Amino acid sequence: MAENVPVRGLQRGQLSKHTGCHLETIRYYENIGLMPEPPRSPKGYRLYGETHLRRLRFILRSRELGFGIDEIRGLLDLVDRKCQTCSEVQERTKPHLAEVRAKIADLRRIERLLSQTMAQCSGEAVPECPIIDALAA
């Protein structure tokens, strides 16, 4: 995967290889309007350029960070209008950060409960199991 190699006229398969994104996912992002329609070659092949590559990387990184499609669409709208401010971006990402923090708190609670329950388990070959009892309660 070449990171800083200028690209011109990549076909969808090549774009997929450059980004690690599945062909069907690229097609999906085009269908829902996150990716702009690329120009076509005289033979009708889609030709993706540097702008498409950067945009797809933006989308993929946003997905890795847990942003939903609508959140990404909102961020891309700011980028496309070329008038985004840091405060606008922050306002759009603040709710997502709160959601991530809530999930982390839930995972910590789950981990604590599982750890406590497992500590009560003897681990021996006996029919009584505190883990099963806790799950059934």
- Domain ranges across the chain: 1-67, 85-137
For the chain, give the mean pLDDT.
89
Q: What is the pLDDT of residue 1?
A: 43
Nearby residues of 51 by Cβ (< 8 Å), 6 or more positions away? 36
Segments in 20-68 forming alpha helices (H) = 23-31, 50-64
State whether residue 27 is helix, strand or coil: helix
Q: What is the pLDDT of residue 7?
A: 54
Burial class (CB in 10 A: 0-12, 13-18, 19+), 15: buried
pTM: 0.78
Averaged pLDDT for residues 112-130: 82
Residue 30 CA neighbour count, 13 Å, CB half: 15
Residue 5 has pLDDT above 50, yes or no: no
Decide if domain 1-67 falls under CATH 1.10.1660.10: yes
- The band of 6, judged by pLDDT with boundaries at 50, 70 and 90, is low
Q: Which residue has the tokens 């033979």?
A: 43
- The band of 38, judged by pLDDT with boundaries at 50, 70 and 90, is very high
Residue 3 has pLDDT above 50, yes or no: no
Q: What is the pLDDT of residue 117?
A: 84
